[in-house]
A and B are shown apart, each in its own frame.
Chain A
Amino acid sequence: MKRLGLLVLLGGAAAAAPAWVWNPYHLHTLIMAGIFAVLALSLNLLLGYTGQLSLGHAAFFGIGAYATGLLTVKLEWSPWLGLGASIAVPGATGWAIGRLALKLRGAYFVLLTISFAGVASLVSVNWMDLTNGPLGLPGVPAIEIALPGLPALSLRAKGAYYYLVLAAVTLCYLVCAALIRSRIGRALIALRENETLAESVGINGTHYLVLAATLSAAMAGLGGGLYAHYTRFVSPEVFLFSYTVTMVIMVVAGGKGTLAGPIVGAVIFTVLPEALRAIASWQWQMLLYGMLLIAVLFFLPRGIVPALQERVK
């Protein structure tokens, strides 16, 4: 009962945020936290439930951003269709990689994902005709809600965009929860715990890993689309390895294999840098992150949320 009360309180605070967060910069931080929460949830689907680590997840984030960026800027598509593409295109890519990488596990899978991200990054920088190279794509349109009969509601303002992101986080959380608390979730976890045994009772490892990879990539792509329409600018910077690193830390420190862990991790590791911004440069922060990752693996191997859950018991 206490837990439910806590959740309601947090949920209410989150829903009313634009009202009580006066500083627009803080609201910006919350929006970024939301986008990262989507990314962390996506990585958690793979890392936390199937046990496979993707160190190229920034690639799906980047592809999602570019998908919507290119379609809305060059072909003048509606931003909503662009968002759809930012889910579909990375999703299809994730599916393709999952199917091609059928038998790869562990470190080999990691290397494949890194290489894929590396190639994507190089393409975005070098294929000037398509992506404008390092100059990037400015002028990505803001998202508008245009219902027939009503005036168009632009989501350009931070407050409005916050709600879009909050909706996205909630949606992704619900999708993950629905998946995990079903036969599919059990199959994924079984593959992580003992793949041979899972196969022997009829669980098709390839099918479920491809499913997880596709959903995970699609979700990361959504994060990219949200990012593109928020910053309204897409450049090869979206493929930076530091995005992937941040996602990994959020999931591992927050608690992989839990549903709340990635969200908690996302909030902590978006708010913390902002809080530290005044005192330390981002290099110091990244240095700290590296050491923090090691410390978490040594002392809180299962992450913050599971550790708290143990305490509560």
Chain B
Amino acid sequence: MDQLYQHLLNGLLLGATYSLLGIGLTLVFGLMHVVNFAHGEFYTLGAYALFAALAGASVDFFLAIPLAVVLGAAAGALCERVLLRPLRGESIDTVMLVMIGVWIAMQNAELLGWGGVAKSVPTPFSTRPVVLGSVSVSPLRLFVFGVSGFLILGAHLLLARTKLGRAMRATFQDRETAALMGVSIERVHTITFAFGAGLAAAAGALLGPVFLLYPSMGDLASLKAFSVVILGGLGNFVGAALGGLVLGVAEELGAGYISSGYRDAVGFLIIVAVLLLRPSGLFARAERVG
């Protein structure tokens, strides 16, 4: 029974970062209709940015994380401005293929820049686990959970309470009206994409120290992000937040009770199960009549 609680706890702690990943993607995929297969690469970018700041520039750990997030957001803004804006009217497939190109290019750039050997990130936290009754948890994971929760809350507040958030919601609900009301559609698109990329980078910077860094770490992150988005529903913020937790718990339970080798299969299986069993079917290119 204690084992169960431990798994559940681990799952929730991990799941919070999956929520971060998923929220970033649900905004981009759900609202902008961009199939961002490079989402995981912004995650990787955040992780390596953290590593570079710590190892290269000896920046303080607690400063390096926001730095990584900002870098991720900036990269996202650049990507949107240079690649996505010119393709605005194109079919969703063309954009999807372009993002696949970005995925390949970014990952191999990481590989060339950092080499294929996995790196570990030093943290200021003690490795001695904190014991809470029958479960134990490492201080690092608690920190990661805390920051994830904080960022999720912040993202929610930004979307729900600020003028920018209102502009974003308006643009994606009714573009023409939003434009008539003076919203700069172009800027909203750039900011939304940057926001998504920034959240992914945050997830990377947070999970980087927990696991190891290697150039293809983004592949699984992308898949898990899509898994969360599909679970929670496209464009659904709360759905993504909850979906991330579900995925985290499912992974921990799967790794604990079935086999750790198949851990990553959980994300895939969720995607397959949800896509195949959803009753009314899903049309990404909705050509529904009437």
Contact = CB atoms under 8 A, between A and B. Distances in A.
B282 interface: yes
Interface stretch (A36-44, A68-76, A216-224, A290-298): A290-298
Nearest to A109: B284
Nearest to B261: A126
B101 A293 contact: yes
B287 interface: yes
A287 interface: yes
Most B Cβ at <10 Å: residue of A108, A194, A293: A108
A195 B287 contact: yes
B281 A293 contact: no
B9 interface: no
Contact of B264 (A53, A55, A118, A287): A118
Contacts of B104: 245, 286-287, 289-290, 293
A196 B219 CA distance: 34
Given A106-B284, A194-B287, A290 B102 contact: yes
Contacts of B223: 114-115, 118
Given A196-B289, A301-B94, A108 B111 contact: no
B283 A105 contact: yes
Interface string A221-254: 0000000000000000000010001001000100
Interface in A49-68: 51, 53, 55
B100 interface: yes
A119 B265 contact: yes
A200 to B, nearest CB: 9
How big is the B interface, by class? 35 or more
Is the contact region of chain B dominated by helix, strand, or loop, or is it mixed?
A: helix
A300 interface: no
A290 B96 contact: no
Given A105-B285, A248-B97, A284 B265 contact: no
Contact of B101 (A119, A122, A297): A297
A74 to B, nearest CB: 22
Interface residues of A, number: 44
Most A Cβ at <10 Å: residue of B83, B267, B276: B276
Interface stretch (A23-31, A95-103, A150-158, A265-273): A95-103
Nearest to B271: A115
B111 A290 contact: no
B170 interface: no
B100 A248 contact: yes
Contact of B100 (A104, A108, A126, A245): A245
Nearest to A282: B108
B105 A119 contact: no
Contacts of A289: 104
B210 interface: no
A13 B98 CA distance: 36
Contact of A241 (B219, B281, B288): B219
A115 B272 contact: yes
Most A Cβ at <10 Å: residue of B105, B226, B289: B105
A278 B272 CA distance: 42
B174 to A, nearest CB: 23
B102 to A, nearest CB: 7
A133 to B, nearest CB: 10
Most B Cβ at <10 Å: residue of A284, A290, A292, A293: A290
Interface in A104-142: 104-112, 114-116, 118-119, 122, 125-126
B257 to A, nearest CB: 16
A107 B105 contact: no
Interface string B103-115: 1111111011000
Contacts of A309: none
Interface in B70-111: 83, 86-87, 92-94, 96-98, 100-109, 111
Closest CB pairs A-B (n = 6): A103-B281, A290-B105, A106-B284, A290-B104, A293-B101, A294-B101
Given A53-B96, A108-B282, A122-B262, 6 more contacts: A104-B275, A104-B281, A105-B282, A108-B284, A294-B83, A298-B87
21 contacts: A102-B281, A103-B282, A106-B284, A107-B96, A108-B282, A114-B223, A115-B267, A122-B268, A126-B259, A245-B104, A283-B108, A283-B111, A286-B104, A286-B111, A287-B105, A287-B112, A290-B101, A290-B104, A292-B101, A297-B87, A297-B98
